Structure 1
Amino acid sequence: MYQTILVTIDGSACADRALDEAIRLASLCEATLEIVHVVDNSYLKYDMGYGNLADLRPDLVEGGRKLLANAEARTHAGQVVCHTQLVDEILALGDIAMAIDAAAQRTHADLVVVGTHGRRGVRRLVMGSVAEGVVCRSKVPVLLVRASKAA
């Protein structure tokens, strides 16, 4: 079955559900979980002269570290081995799907688990744009986890 499962987190309720599902699956398969948070640097494309947008970056990085620490604790509570990665590639300028695919290749993931709607707004009605990008790029199976009906 799966040996390495990569799951992406962004602090959204949908990503939390994806993490829960990845923990369950990793437990059943005795797989290692790779937990990835990609810092969304897309704001750097939109310098509008209202201050230095680059000042946001330290807060985004720190927020990502906190998300990963929380996810790691949840994973260990589920008795699953995990590694965490903070991906902060400024040159990607917000191409989060590309960064996720690169992380999946680096870690030799057998499966990628991603929530269908994250914190990037409603850019797609059926599926989030990041999830769609991951599905289109990935060379390994992708498990999409939908948000709960209450969310």
Structure 2
Amino acid sequence: MSKTDVSGLSMLGQAVASPTHPDEAVLERVPSNHAGTDFVVRFTAPEFTSLCPMTGQPDFAHIVIDYVPDGWLVESKSLKLFLHSFRNHGAFHEDCTLDIAKRLVDLLSPKWLRIGAYWYPRGGIPIDVFWQTGNPPEGVWLPDQGVQPYRGRG
């Protein structure tokens, strides 16, 4: 069994203050020990929060990120702190969703990435945002993201 090289990480195992803005957040990566093998990594953030840029009111989302690595894995503590940095950041749902996805693509250069952001209603209308880099590699098992569409009272 191979050991992951964590020598370049600055946050893992350390007390780190939460960044106050997504631009300040540091995303870190580690090499995948299974380069050449296609597999899906999933991160689920069921309590994501940001602020409405117009009213300052909190917005809530259930975010699911799936990606097929191509040599790099995102370090999960840095991802958690990055997602937390949106908590006091004012941005529209679409901007938050795509900013998260594109930042991960820039960091990892994955073979494939998709994000599903299932936002809770604002003004009575739920806004769900979906994006992916293209078609997933053939033969990769992609489970459903498992988030039910918002139904309100039915």
TM-score in same-fold range (> 0.5): no
Query: Normalising to structure 2: TM-score of the pair?
Result: 0.34
More strand by share: 2
TM-score, normalised relative to structure 1:
0.35
